[in-house]
């Protein structure tokens, strides 16, 4: 690739990352936090063509760089105190309507270098945490039919899987999102030979992908139901859909 074209492509990607419209519909990112070890801040570095840098986010503690990532947005989610240290939960996202947040920890240590964990993904791009002493549990949601709990302690991460016992109904919000954003949208579009999750672009794909590992949802039946409703030109009412697809 010619050098000028390569630089142009890199500059285009940088402008997309820095553009205020990328997350225009969401809340403002949290870029600063006070910790017991000092001020934590996320900063954007300017484009440096000579060094080949672009879209670089650095994490600073008391003005000193402790971590950096390229071509992704960073946000501070939560600061969790553990003994003399602080564990910071951060999110990252390259941008785009079909992309969920990933997360990682940085453990700030008194008198020692910070520890940066491996990045982890969750079912919906959102996580909740529960702390018990130095142990931090993160609910990752469902994956391949099992509930996953990530346990972080002293720089190490393990995954605990929980199997669903008995038949349970899906969450109301999840069922409504599946009905409105996938099933109803598919019937309304009228492209009956397509897959339901392929209608209306990445936002629909995101909803489908978020929910496809939830064992409480009957997505195998959803495909046939969506095609039949599409061919008939009429979507069933939500209460009936919930009973058939979402476990009642």
Of 137, 163, 189, the residue at which a domain comes to its end is 163
Give the Cα separation of 150 and 128 in Å (integer). 11
Residues 40, 46, 50: CA angle, nearest 5 degrees? 130
- Residue for token pair 């109301």: 172
Q: How many domains does the chain have?
A: 2
Same domain (yes/no): 155, 235: no
Domain boundary among 114, 132, 163: 163
- Of 113, 144, 163, which residue sits at a domain end? 163
What 3-state class would DSSP assign to 159?
A: strand
How far is 232 from 235, CA to CA, in rounded Å?
A: 8
114 in the same domain as 36: yes
Give the separation between CA 62 and CA 68, rounded to whole angstroms.
15
What is the rounded distance in angstroms from the CA atom of residue 59 to the CA atom of residue 35? 13
The sign of the torsion formed by the CA atoms of 56, 62, 64, 68 equals negative
Contact 186, 223 (CB under 8 A): no
In terms of domains, do 110 and 26 share one? yes
18, 59 Cβ separation under 8 angstroms: no
Q: Please state, as a whole number, how many other Cβ atoms lie within 10 Å of the Cβ of residue 110.
A: 10
Question: Residue 7 has what pLDDT?
Answer: 45
d(CA 164, CA 147): 7
Q: Name the one residue in this structure whose structure tokens are 């346990």.
A: 151
Look up the domain containing 237 and give its range. 172-245
Query: Are 10 and 114 members of one domain?
Result: yes
Q: For the chain, 248 residues long, give each residue's pLDDT as a single digit of tens.
A: 444 444 444 444 444 444 433 333 456 778 999 999 999 999 988 655 445 445 789 999 999 999 999 888 999 999 999 998 999 999 999 877 668 899 999 999 999 999 999 999 999 998 999 999 999 999 999 999 999 999 999 999 999 999 988 889 999 999 999 999 999 999 999 989 988 888 777 778 889 989 999 999 999 999 999 999 999 999 999 999 999 999 87
Cα distance between residue 54 and residue 17, in whole Å: 10
User: Does residue 89 sit in the same domain as residue 153?
Assistant: yes
Q: Is 72 left (phi over 0), alpha (psi -120 to 50) or beta?
A: beta
The tokens of 142 are what? 């469902």
Residues 140 and 177 reside in one and the same domain: no
Are both 141 and 158 inside the same structural domain? yes
Q: Is the dihedral of CA 42, 27, 175, 188 positive or negative?
A: negative
| Residues 13 and 101 placed together within one structural domain of the fold | yes
Decide: pTM greater than 0.85: no
Say how far apart CA 98 and CA 125 lie, in whole Å. 11
Regarding whether 224 and 148 lie in a shared domain, the answer is no
In terms of domains, do 196 and 108 share one?
no
Q: Are residues 78 and 146 both part of a single domain?
A: yes
Largest CA distance in the chain: 68
Q: Say yes or no: 199 and 158 in one domain.
A: no
């Amino acid at each position: 690739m010619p050098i000028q074209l390569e630089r142009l492509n890199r500059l285009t990607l940088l402008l997309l990352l820095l553009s205020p419209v990328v997350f225009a519909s969401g809340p403002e990112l949290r870029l600063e936090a006070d910790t017991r070890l000092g001020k934590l801040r996320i900063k954007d570095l300017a484009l440096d063509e000579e060094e080949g840098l672009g879209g670089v986010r650095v994490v600073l503690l008391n003005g000193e760089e402790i971590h950096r990532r390229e071509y992704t947005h960073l946000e501070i989610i939560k600061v969790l105190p553990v003994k003399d240290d602080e564990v910071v939960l951060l999110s990252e996202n390259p941008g785009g309507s079909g992309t969920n947040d990933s997360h990682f920890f940085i453990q700030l240590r008194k008198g020692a270098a910070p520890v940066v964990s491996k990045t982890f993904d969750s079912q919906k791009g959102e996580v909740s945490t529960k702390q018990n002493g130095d142990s931090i549990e993160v609910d990752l949601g469902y994956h391949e039919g099992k509930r996953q709990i990530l346990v972080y302690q002293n720089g190490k991460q393990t995954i605990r899987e929980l199997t669903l016992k008995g038949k349970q109904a899906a969450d109301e919000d999840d069922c409504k999102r599946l009905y409105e954003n996938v099933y109803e949208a598919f019937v309304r579009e009228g492209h009956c030979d397509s897959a339901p999750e392929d209608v209306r672009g990445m936002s629909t794909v995101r909803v489908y992908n978020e929910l496809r590992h939830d064992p409480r949802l009957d997505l195998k039946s959803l495909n046939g139901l969506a095609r039949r409703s599409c061919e008939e030109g009429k979507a069933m009412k939500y209460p009936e859909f919930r009973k058939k697809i979402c476990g009642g």
